[in-house]
Chains A and B, each alone.
Chain A
Amino acid sequence: MRSNQAARRQGGGRDGGRGQGGPGRLLAAVIGALAVLAPGAVAACTSPHPPPAPPYTLRVLADSELAGMGPILAQARAATGVTVRLTTTDALTVADDVTNGIAQRDYDAVWLASGDYLDLYASGANTLVGTTPIMSSPVVLAVRSSAARRLGWDHGPVAWKDIARAAAAGAFTFGMASPVTSDSGLSALVCVATAVAGRGAALTDAGAGQATPELAGLFAGQRLTATADGVIGYEADLLALKARAPSGDPLTLVYPSDGTITATYPLSLVATAPRAVTDAFSRLIGYLTSTSGQDKIMTATGHRPVLSSVPLARNLPGHLGVLRFPGSLQIVSDLIGEYVGKLRPPGRTIYVLDTSASMRGARLSHLEQALLALTGAGRTLAGKFSQFRSGEQVTFLPFNYAPATPGEFSILTMDPGPSLAAIHDYISGLRAHGRTAIYDALVRAYQIMAEQDRGSAGWIDSIVAITGSENNWGRSLGAFLAYYRSLPASSPAPPVYAIAFGEADIPELTQVVSATGGTVIDAVHQPLSALSAIVQDVRGYP
């Protein structure tokens, strides 16, 4: 079971990285921002004006895509007396929480980027009432202006088909958030599939099958590295990225001529909300959908107004074509399955596993359960979508005083069963003793990645370090960072995603992920049972 605490995160850019400057960093940062969850609770700030109504704190479970609403919510508080306590997580976790009733039990309201996602996934969605679209943003493309000129996309119409064709030909690379866990990623995937099927209607089974070759071509251009030509995501996020791009390498926004899917950011109240909550919710909605609220949202965040009386800002083009989101969960599930299993480049992940003495007992058994869930034991949607996939390469690197011999597994495309069974046996055989040499293990992980790299390309690489102790043996943090910086800049080194629990040193791990472009997941203050959900979340990243 997932809980609202399942994923509190601290993001890391590439600040301490190996000197990849310019928009590369920005692209990496936005991919991170699109895919990665923002810090948990964003309470609106204090207001200089006395609230005109009884103050109330509204607990809102929100998609991480709404993490940037803090300043607007602070203004809403000043105007209405309603403080919004926003807890952000990925869309898939919100959907799971609505389905199993956690959202209704622990929160007053739910705020997603796209209602489509919730309607499809969450069987409990009809217990959310008062649903009101707050703002909108279409899925579009941000491209380095130099690449836009090279591809001829700086003038004239560009269709999703053109984008897919350029990617298939190796002429265009891009990053996007995971369709598994994020609204923007899923909307982008559906956009392309629907546009390519080209019938003006929502995708049907036949259309989905028809789109496969072109989708495969498109995702051949998907990258996690900082050197991509562009990013697919919500316009509001891409405008923010564009504003930060250096003048020497600006970005161009491309609006696909065959249409797009637009998120409308619906805010809903749980049906059980008592009257004081309903009153606060109504006041908040009233503020956000007022003319001045809409104007402030557009100016501050680049989201489009839902009030037709508020004129669009000059940088927001009107009359976008519309693509429809499928009405059947099966079609969307199949599309995601297709993406994870076939379309995206296969994942190659090294799990760096703390098996020092600090892991004895419940910690090791929870770690084992979390990993075993990835072999197919998951019951939630998140579990279902985060299983090991055909074609994937999985390496386990247990460590204590030193890294052990790695356990390497390839999930066979035709028959994944035996490899999953072998993983099961391997994990069940882990034993805990000794001290914690985490940086020696991370260095070893990069070496293994480099060895595996010989003669292969087109993988999405990542290193997931799971540790319950501070480093107390072997290399120091400084020595690791020096090693990382010495890696050849010619071959991009994968990011480290660190899952920290027990006595792990979060400040140190934060430096590791900042340098490598990954993320720390702070599981220290959560029950051990949350570990499974956290490990699944990390799987949604690429």
Chain B
Amino acid sequence: MVEVTVFAVATLLLAGGVAGVRLREPTLLTAVQVAVGSEDMDFFHDPRAVAEFANNGFTVTAVAMGSRQMVQNAKTLSGAGYDALFPSSEDFALEIQQQLNPPFGNQQPFSTPLAVFTWRDLLPTLEAKQIVDPSGTKFNLGQYLNDTSSGGNRVLLDMANPADSDSGAMFLAAASYVLNNGVVQSTSTAAALATTIRAVVGPLGGTENTTGHVFRKFLEDGESAEPLALGYQSEFLEYQRAGKLPAGAVMLQLDPSIICVHTIVPLRNPGLKFATLLDTDPYLQSLAAQNYGFADSAEGQSPGHYVSPPSPQVLEAMIGAVEPGS
């Protein structure tokens, strides 16, 4: 998973060639700058997407960052001229809206559930530990939390830093749901569960700050270095459909999982127009679904056991409690 940011004019020529479309004059394009999760960078740099953006009058500069980084830097990014922030979950979008109060609401063009990636060779071991069900399709989060926090399991699920990224934070949401037998409703409960979760996250050591980097490590470092990795179903589907998965890579449903509704928060008028394009353009929606494994709404997901994340306030408390040094 590599981020290739392309210079606008060069891209337009290339993209125009690829898509076989007539472009408007480059000078008429509106430049929009959007913060996106690293895992979405491939989509934003896909020549077909770039051409469709241009057909609708946009040239896009996408800057990769963790969803929670967007929240923590919301005021700075707004001041620096970003037209929209596109975190990977609704919780973070709501936090941004609370801080900045932009008059544009939000839009939810893509969604995808958290999933676990592993290797076919490891399935027998994981099944023996009952971390994976006998059919080899579901990752039992409760069993994993139990075995790992007690030191009985050393095959670790790598993930992006919960303090920076959406997928890491949503792991806390799913894990706390399991430990609490339901959505955590209070910050005090969140703090009480942190010890167990920290015992699972801590041994990972320093983690990547954005989801796409974890998936890249999974693909490149292979079975012995990255036996288990947490990410989005869409990442895996993107590589699977492009025929770029390494041999033996398999995806498991996280049980229970969380559907991450990628939610774009426009900060300026061009951002609103661009967000609307992402959300409604049939070509972009079909490209996202066909090639990037996204569903256009939470309802369009494959069947599975999905739970809700806690409120943004409780989630923040949980992230704070799990962070190293807290």
Give me the interface of A with B, judged by CB distance under 8 Å.
52-53, 80, 115-116, 119-120, 126-127, 129-133, 199-204, 259, 269, 271-275, 278-279, 281-283, 285-286, 289-290, 306-308, 319, 321-322, 324-330
Most chain A Cβ neighbours within 10 Å, of B2, B10, B77, B81: B2
- With both beta carbons as reference points, the residue of chain B lying nearest to A330 in the complex is identified as B325
Note all chain B residues with C-beta closer than 8 A to A281. 63
- With both beta carbons as reference points, the residue of chain A lying nearest to B83 in the complex is identified as A275
List B15-65 residues whose CB lies under 8 Å from chain A. Answer: 31, 33, 35, 61-65
- With both beta carbons as reference points, the residue of chain B lying nearest to A282 in the complex is identified as B5
- With both beta carbons as reference points, the residue of chain A lying nearest to B1 in the complex is identified as A308
Asked if A329 and B324 make an inter-chain contact with CB atoms under 8 angstroms apart, the answer reads: yes
Note all chain A residues with C-beta closer than 8 A to B204. 201-202, 324, 327
Complex Cα gap A41–B319 (Å): 40
B5's partner among A274, A285, A319 (CB-CB below 8 A) is A285
- With both beta carbons as reference points, the residue of chain B lying nearest to A136 in the complex is identified as B220
Interface residue stretch chosen among B102-110, B209-217, B255-263, B271-279:
B209-217
Asked if A204 and B203 make an inter-chain contact with CB atoms under 8 angstroms apart, the answer reads: yes
Asked if B3 and A285 make an inter-chain contact with CB atoms under 8 angstroms apart, the answer reads: yes
Note all chain A residues with C-beta closer than 8 A to B205. 201-203, 324-327
Note all chain B residues with C-beta closer than 8 A to A283. 5, 7
Asked if B79 and A272 make an inter-chain contact with CB atoms under 8 angstroms apart, the answer reads: yes
Could you list some 29 contacts between A and B, CB below 8 A?
A52-B7, A53-B9, A115-B206, A115-B208, A119-B206, A119-B209, A126-B68, A126-B209, A127-B76, A129-B35, A129-B73, A130-B64, A131-B64, A201-B204, A204-B203, A269-B63, A274-B81, A278-B33, A278-B61, A283-B7, A285-B5, A286-B7, A289-B4, A321-B225, A325-B206, A326-B205, A327-B205, A327-B207, A328-B324
CB of A80 to closest CB in B, whole Å: 7
* Residue B121 at the chain A interface, CB threshold 8 Å: no
CB of B40 to closest CB in A, whole Å: 13
Please encode chain B, from 178 to 221, with 1 for each CB lying within 8 Å of some chain A CB and 0 for all others. 00000000000000000000000111111111100100100111
Note all chain B residues with C-beta closer than 8 A to A282. 5, 7, 61-63
Q: Closest 7 A-B residue pairs measured CB to CB?
A: A202-B205, A322-B225, A282-B5, A324-B205, A286-B5, A201-B203, A129-B65
B73's partner among A115, A126, A327 (CB-CB below 8 A) is A126
Interface residue tally for chain B (C-beta within 8 Å): 52
List B301-317 residues whose CB lies under 8 Å from chain A. Answer: none
Note all chain A residues with C-beta closer than 8 A to B31. 275, 279
Other A-B pairs, 13, CB within 8 Å; known A201-B156, A326-B206: A126-B69, A127-B73, A132-B64, A133-B216, A199-B154, A202-B205, A278-B61, A279-B61, A281-B63, A286-B5, A324-B204, A325-B205, A328-B202
A116's partner among B80, B206, B324 (CB-CB below 8 A) is B206
Asked if B73 and A271 make an inter-chain contact with CB atoms under 8 angstroms apart, the answer reads: yes
Note all chain B residues with C-beta closer than 8 A to A131. 64-65, 209-210
CB of A325 to closest CB in B, whole Å: 4
Asked if B164 and A286 make an inter-chain contact with CB atoms under 8 angstroms apart, the answer reads: no
CB of B258 to closest CB in A, whole Å: 23
Note all chain A residues with C-beta closer than 8 A to B100. none
Most chain B Cβ neighbours within 10 Å, of A130, A204, A289: A130
Please encode chain B, from 154 to 167, with 1 for each CB lying within 8 Å of some chain A CB and 0 for all others. 10100001011000
CB of A192 to closest CB in B, whole Å: 15
Asked if B33 and A275 make an inter-chain contact with CB atoms under 8 angstroms apart, the answer reads: yes
CB of B145 to closest CB in A, whole Å: 16
CB of A275 to closest CB in B, whole Å: 5
List B224-273 residues whose CB lies under 8 Å from chain A. Answer: 224-226
Asked if A273 and B80 make an inter-chain contact with CB atoms under 8 angstroms apart, the answer reads: yes
CB within 8 Å for A200 and B154 given contacts A130-B63, A286-B6: yes
CB of B22 to closest CB in A, whole Å: 22
- With both beta carbons as reference points, the residue of chain A lying nearest to B72 in the complex is identified as A126
* Residue B320 at the chain A interface, CB threshold 8 Å: no
Complex Cα gap A201–B2 (Å): 26
* Residue B222 at the chain A interface, CB threshold 8 Å: yes
Complex Cα gap A413–B213 (Å): 45
Complex Cα gap A273–B76 (Å): 9
Note all chain B residues with C-beta closer than 8 A to A126. 66, 68-69, 72-73, 163-164, 209
- With both beta carbons as reference points, the residue of chain B lying nearest to A259 in the complex is identified as B225
Complex Cα gap A34–B117 (Å): 37
Complex Cα gap A300–B76 (Å): 37
Asked if A272 and B80 make an inter-chain contact with CB atoms under 8 angstroms apart, the answer reads: yes
Complex Cα gap A278–B80 (Å): 9
Note all chain B residues with C-beta closer than 8 A to A327. 201-202, 204-207, 324
Asked if A306 and B5 make an inter-chain contact with CB atoms under 8 angstroms apart, the answer reads: no
- With both beta carbons as reference points, the residue of chain A lying nearest to B226 in the complex is identified as A322
Complex Cα gap A325–B161 (Å): 13
Complex Cα gap A3–B35 (Å): 30
- With both beta carbons as reference points, the residue of chain B lying nearest to A285 in the complex is identified as B5
CB of B75 to closest CB in A, whole Å: 10
CB of B164 to closest CB in A, whole Å: 6
CB of A115 to closest CB in B, whole Å: 8
Complex Cα gap A52–B14 (Å): 14
Complex Cα gap A119–B72 (Å): 15
Note all chain B residues with C-beta closer than 8 A to A307. 2
